[in-house]
Amino acid sequence: MSFFTDTFLIFRRQLRLSLRNPAWVIIGLIQPILYLVFFGPLLTRIAGGGLPGFPPGNSYSFFVPGLLIQLGLFGAAFVGFAIIADWRAGVIERFRVTPVSRTALLLGRALREVANMVFQALIITVLAVPLGLTVPLVDVLLAYLLFSLVALMATTLSYGLALQIRNEAALGPMINALAQPVMLLGGVLLPLALAPLWIQRVADWNPFFWATSAMRALFAGQAGNPAVWKGLIIVLGMATLAVAWSARLFARSLR
């Protein structure tokens, strides 16, 4: 079988497992919806004050892209717990006898997580429409492509950390310690134009900042904005490195 066939077969199997127990997909929507309902109206008042970093128009065109990046980060950050559970249960060990590509085994699992998060992102976007969100169809499709790359990067990084640590008690605090500053320096809730200059310069090294900037440009209908292709290139490169790193660790665990 080819690499792509292997990946699709693993993805289909993992997706069927998710469909049998959709509770975690629904639970993952609770926090973003709470932010959308309770934090979004606060931004409407703030954006009306003409603060720097807030574009003209409906504040949800600024807030929803950041919310999606937050979903891609935190929704994927904790998927590593599942691979630790499979390792403890001997599921990973059984893969040694399969002829399937080791990279396909990992990528198929990761794509299942990406599909779940894209579904969640679609629901959040639809719920924001009655609140005033408007975005061109072509731009929102490109935004979902960017979101998929962000989710793939975060998912495979979580897998890599889990394969390195293999301890649930240590993985949770480490993920929180890494994800919180990455989210804050990504400007997902408030524009970094409000931050001191040194914070803005540190944020320039954060790929999630570039992803957030690109996502907001797309939701503003500015597909030609340089921030879009910069964000896509940076996130694509980081996602490729993350997949290669986690796949190498996964293959090593099957030796």
The rounded mean pLDDT for the chain is 84
DSSP string computed for 95-149: GGG--S-HHHHHHHHHHHHHHHHHHHHHHHHHHHGGGT----HHHHHHHHHHHHH
> Is 130 or 57 the better-scoring residue by pLDDT?
130
Q: Are 64 and 133 in contact (CB under 8 A)?
A: yes
* Contacts of 218 by beta carbon, 8 Å cutoff, 6+ apart: 65, 135, 139, 140, 142, 143, 146, 228
Dist. CA 58–CA 131, nearest whole Å: 9
Dist. CA 251–CA 150, nearest whole Å: 23
* Contacts of 211 by beta carbon, 8 Å cutoff, 6+ apart: 69, 72, 146, 149, 150, 186, 231, 234, 235
Dist. CA 141–CA 129, nearest whole Å: 15
Q: What is the pLDDT of residues 113-146, one digit of tens each?
A: 999 999 999 999 999 888 888 888 889 999 999 9
Q: Percent of the chain having pLDDT more than 70?
A: 92
What is the model's pLDDT at position 39? 79
Residue 211, Cα to own-chain centre: how many angstroms?
A: 10
Residue 48, Cα to own-chain centre: how many angstroms?
A: 29
pLDDT interval class at 46 (50, 70, 90): low
| Tokens representing residue 234 in the block | 């940076």
pLDDT interval class at 69 (50, 70, 90): very high
The total number of structural domains that make up the chain: 1
Environment class of residue 99 by beta-carbon count within 10 Å: exposed (0-12), middle (13-18) or buried (19+)?
Answer: exposed
Average pLDDT rounded to a whole number, residues 178-183: 86
Environment class of residue 47 by beta-carbon count within 10 Å: exposed (0-12), middle (13-18) or buried (19+)?
Answer: buried
Does the pLDDT value for residue 245 go beyond 80? yes
Find the domain containing 214 and state its range: 3-253
What is the model's pLDDT at position 106? 87
> Is 18 or 254 the better-scoring residue by pLDDT?
18
What is the model's pLDDT at position 164? 87
Q: Are 95 and 105 in contact (CB under 8 A)?
A: yes
| Tokens representing residue 27 in the block | 């639970």
What is the model's pLDDT at position 187? 85
